[in-house]
Chains A and B, each alone.
Chain A
């Protein structure tokens, strides 16, 4: 057989897939592998994940289990890197670093794992991905080309995300339509609010109501750094820093009407970040949505509608206040004028 069968590599649609999807996908496609991505989260994936995992784990990891099970029989290898830190001087949550180890211990799957650690001297995605590529194809030039293409795709994706595109749109390079009525900031881990099943499709629900959305992913890393440098505080969680910076930024922005903070149940790193948030956040309508495997669609809708109504009321109230202030001002001015004219006349 002249035509070898292509190596099939599976990428679970969980955790950091939502941040680095184009990078991984393009890279593996370019070095000549077939890339299979697990299905979108559905009931079966969730229940598989729940039954395979221990019940003290947080929802995102349980979902990872489900996605790995979904891929297990369809691929040769599953790509799951050890992501220790994505930027210098901070760390990813311990459970996420240990995720490949946990999967390995609980399921018999072949994992392709590399270390991605920006704190170590040999720190770049190229160095990390190179390790894997040598196992598949030993041509360095091809690897380098694949890497540059992958980085280009990732940069394109990041640009779209920064402009406020939804994850799916950014992946396909689609532009975002402009909404006008209100602006709401959605803050949280990108793998929580981008997952349509667990977040009850919060983002689409908001978009249908003609609302502009800012997400915490829209901040660049430099922006996060400068914002946190201003308050001289930082948590040592990479994702926690982002959430904190996003909350500070959006709460001080005038055209943001409200903030929705989405957090998975029993997320220990978020709990302390929230204490930080309370101190440094200006007054803004704020809602915390805790999601877990039992949260239903209806509950989210109810809470969302109540939240939006509240914002509406607040707006009307503010307008009234402005009007009243205006009237008072006018009266005062008139009186002053009268006094002036009285004195002069």
Chain B
């Protein structure tokens, strides 16, 4: 029996983890290409005008997957309180693409319970067992976490050594992670990766500007959408931190309970002053992270969000007050299909220059 060809929604380099999951449940993965202008153009062509930008991109992604022969598309979905419109994405995508005459099926990936996974995928792989599903989920999860760690280390090497070294490091380890298909293998890789990373020289953090990028989780993780904002900042010699990783988005989609540390609870209380209810999506996280970074002594924040994103626009209207209260400069960058490369760079450069001047003045005073 031939395996069903399936594609999983891709954010950044998450395809490494999701393809491992698909192989685990006995489907043939079709690796989606990274997001390019073609994807965006296709998505914008089919999607409704005022739908948020991530939705438009996801429609383009689906179209591309179907052109490559996928018969099954797995889309994230989930609880409304965690993920805003993501719950409706799969349904709307199905309607839009069926209109164009494609034959396919779509699965809403909204739970990480093995029995639910078996129930959903049984139709495409009748031999699927509970054990198989559980190990596929665990493998996918481990790969996601190690990829997040790799990204962090990549940025530190980028800042401390140079671009080339960082990129070779990243590509080499990505390949190794992709090849390993066992959970213990990933555990071991994690140790080796850490060892190699620690042998590399570290950056001198004394005179380095620190900027955190906060905002919509999709924009933070998809490099084609945020115009490589991290590399741009790193090129200017700025230390960058990213507030939400793809694993957070996954966590929101599958509705996993997040264990809160006492510090996080304190932050939550603080953020309630600005945003009383978690309106939807990651709005609460954005406010919380803004406060956390301000308290940790970051020099500036960049708030990045898609045009017509409802939760992030709510936050965008609250952040100016927060910035005033915590004395932290914030740059707002809305993103849509018309965002240009040059305008983006100019704004970031100007912002970094301003922060530099501000920091110099503050140090001069003390």
Contact = CB atoms under 8 A, between A and B. Distances in A.
Interface stretch (A70-78, A271-279, A312-320, A326-334): A271-279
B52 interface: yes
Nearest to B51: A271
A100 B274 CA distance: 10
A276 B92 contact: yes
Contact of B313 (A56, A100, A106): A56
Given A102-B318, A235-B88, A236-B88, A94 B49 contact: no
Given A98-B283, A101-B314, A270-B50, A82 B85 contact: no
A236 B80 contact: yes
Interface in B261-320: 274-277, 279-281, 283, 307-311, 313-318, 320
Contacts of A270: 50
Interface in A6-58: 53-54, 56-57
B334 interface: yes
B279 A97 contact: yes
Given A57-B313, A94-B310, A272 B318 contact: no
A233 B314 CA distance: 28
Contacts of B321: 105-106
B48 A271 contact: yes
B95 A278 contact: yes
Interface stretch (A136-144, A148-156, A209-217, A261-269): A261-269
Contact of B316 (A54, A235, A274, A278): A54
Contact of B283 (A54, A94, A236): A94
Nearest to A53: B317
B96 interface: yes
Contacts of A102: 314, 317-318
A185 interface: no
A271 B56 CA distance: 11
A301 to B, nearest CB: 24
Contacts of A54: 313, 316-317
B328 to A, nearest CB: 15
Interface string B66-97: 00000000000000110011011101100110
Nearest to B93: A275
A268 B309 contact: yes
B246 interface: no
Contacts of A279: 95
Contacts of A267: 50
A272 B276 contact: no
Output the residue of A235, A236, A270, A272 with the most chain B CB within 10 A. Answer: A272
B347 to A, nearest CB: 16
B55 interface: yes
Contacts of A276: 91-92, 95
Interface residues of A, number: 35
A91 B283 contact: no
Contacts of B275: 98, 101
Nearest to A55: B334
Interface string A83-114: 01000000101110110111001100000010
Given A101-B318, A272-B92, A266 B48 contact: no
Nearest to B87: A236
A269 B49 CA distance: 12
Output the residue of B89, B95, B317 with the most chain A CB within 10 A. Answer: B317
Nearest to A280: B95
A235 to B, nearest CB: 5
A115 interface: yes
A275 B92 contact: yes
B48 A275 contact: yes
A-B pairs, 9 with minimum CB distance: A98-B314, A94-B279, A105-B321, A271-B48, A94-B280, A271-B50, A236-B80, A268-B308, A94-B310
Interface of A: 53-54, 56-57, 82, 84, 91, 93-95, 97-98, 100-102, 105-106, 113, 115, 233, 235-236, 265-272, 274-276, 278-279
14 contacts: A94-B279, A94-B281, A94-B283, A94-B310, A106-B320, A236-B87, A265-B50, A267-B50, A268-B52, A269-B85, A269-B310, A271-B308, A272-B51, A272-B89
Interface of B: 48-52, 55, 80-81, 84-85, 87-89, 91-92, 95-96, 99, 274-277, 279-281, 283, 307-311, 313-318, 320-322, 334
